[in-house]
């Protein structure tokens, strides 16, 4: 075979290989999307997604600079290859209450190898709907839509996305496996109801890192069935802190196992790191948690286990003790200022006391007025190591 023919074959091989590895772009403008924030672009976005999902190879749905109004959409898989949703502009939610029947505004389902990125913004326009939230007084309330939900998504990355003023939670993760959230920016007023930053349930190996969350509810909420959750370098405030639970609210809940919260900062939050369970007859386990290298400034309840959680009495009447077994919890190198006198509160279940709770190098002084802080323990079994402020009650 001549040298020229060999070079030609090599060129063709490289050309074909690059064609298979380079992504194909699907710009929503090519599907009729209109900027300006007034026209509903749902059909254009869904068509762009459908074509990208069916492409045999890497694909990218691109939302360019501009403001695009969007009614609730569901982006479903499985897709034929890795797919990215690139938001460069602003997606603006509708304020039409008739569309709030959907549980989510933007929903990704059954997708493998998904990336959501681009530096763009989700504008949930929550201020138009927060007054409709009556869930504290109405058990049959209609939940407002979550800004972006992921259901049964695997091997995914969500990075460099901003979310403002969600009507409900900003991001929800359910039934997912192996997801990374990086450099996320979340913002809603401190008094906005139920606006959790990132809520995780029934999911495995979820990581949140290098993000800033300011909202009206939990910065991160980890609920039943969550396993191997890692939260690091998150700035939380305002908000209700990073919470595990509430747990024990339903029968047959899956256990929560393996949560790590490290290198985080809490500023002016109502809670720091919190575990909360209902005093109910529904049994499950919550175990193997580490809260480490955390700074808190002006936090009302820095370290909390609350197994009598009842935000709106009356709650469960069948029992006065939680049936959730909490065990193997480590608090290490946590320092700063508590805005309440009680900086450490470990209120555990009478029927299932907390087991193997470890406090190591805790320094949480009372900030206003400056002075000695205190700790409260109830049905908690464990040990302390290193320096302890407040004086430990274990």
DSSP bridge pairs for 149? 107, 172
pLDDT per residue of the chain (394 residues) written in tens, 0 to 9: 455 554 545 444 444 444 457 999 999 999 999 999 999 999 999 999 999 999 999 999 999 999 999 999 999 999 999 999 999 999 999 999 888 877 999 999 999 999 999 999 999 999 999 999 887 777 677 889 999 999 999 999 999 999 999 999 999 999 999 999 999 999 999 999 999 999 999 999 999 999 999 999 999 999 999 999 999 999 999 999 999 999 999 999 999 999 999 999 999 999 999 999 999 999 999 999 999 999 999 999 999 999 999 888 777 766 778 999 999 999 999 999 999 999 999 999 999 999 999 999 999 999 877 778 999 999 999 999 999 999 999 9
Residue 99 to residue 243: CA distance in whole angstroms: 30
How many C-beta atoms surround the C-beta of residue 20 within 10 A? Answer: 10
Say whether 350 sits in a helix, a strand or coil.
coil
Please give the Cα distance from 103 to 143 (Å, whole number): 7
- Sequence-distant (6+) residues with CB within 8 A of 365 are 337, 338, 343, 371, 372, 373, 389
Catalytic residue check, 240: yes
pTM assigned to the model: 0.94
The neighbour count for residue 135, using CB atoms within 10 Å, is 16
Catalytic residue among 103, 177, 230, 240: 240
């Amino acid at each position: 075979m001549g040298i020229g023919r060999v070079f030609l074959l090599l060129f063709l091989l490289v050309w074909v290989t690059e064609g298979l590895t380079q992504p194909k772009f699907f710009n929503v403008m090519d599907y009729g999307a209109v900027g300006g924030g007034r026209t509903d672009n749902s059909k254009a976005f869904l068509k762009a997604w459908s074509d990208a999902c069916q492409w045999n190879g890497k694909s990218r749905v691109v939302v360019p600079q501009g403001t695009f109004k969007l009614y609730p959409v569901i982006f479903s898989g499985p897709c034929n290859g890795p797919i990215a949703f690139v938001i460069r502009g602003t997606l603006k939610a509708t304020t039409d209450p008739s569309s709030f029947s959907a549980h989510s505004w933007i929903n990704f389902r059954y997708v493998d190898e998904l990336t959501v990125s681009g530096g763009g913004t989700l504008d949930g326009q929550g201020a138009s709907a927060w007054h409709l939230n009556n869930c504290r007084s109405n058990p049959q309330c209609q939940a407002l839509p979550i800004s972006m939900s992921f259901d049964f998504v695997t091997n995914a990355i969500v990075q460099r996305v901003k979310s403002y003023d969600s009507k409900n939670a900003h991001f929800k993760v359910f039934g997912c496996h192996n997801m990374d959230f990086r450099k996320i920016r979340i913002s809603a007023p401190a008094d906005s109801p139920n606006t959790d930053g990132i809520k995780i349930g029934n999911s495995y190996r979820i990581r949140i890192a290098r993000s800033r969350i300011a909202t009206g509810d939990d910065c991160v909420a980890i609920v039943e069935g969550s396993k191997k959750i890692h939260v690091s370098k998150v700035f939380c405030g305002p908000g209700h802190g990073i919470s595990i639970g509430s747990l024990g609210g339903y029968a047959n809940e899956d256990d929560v196992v393996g949560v790590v919260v490290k290198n985080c900062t809490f500023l002016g939050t109502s809670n720091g790191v919190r575990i909360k369970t209902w005093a109910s007859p529904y049994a499950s386990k919550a175990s193997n948690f580490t809260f480490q290298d955390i700074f808190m400034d002006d936090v009302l309840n820095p370290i909390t286990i609350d197994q009598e959680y009842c935000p709106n009495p009356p709650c469960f009447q069948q029992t006065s003790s939680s049936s959730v077994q909490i065990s193997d919890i480590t608090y290490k190198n946590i320092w700063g200022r508590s805005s309440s006198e009680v900086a450490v509160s470990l209120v555990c279940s009478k029927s299932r006391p907390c087991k193997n709770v470890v406090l190591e190098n805790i320094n949480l002084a009372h900030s206003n007025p400056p002075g000695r802080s205190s700790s409260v323990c109830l049905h908690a079994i464990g040990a302390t190591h290193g320096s302890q402020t407040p004086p430990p009650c274990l």
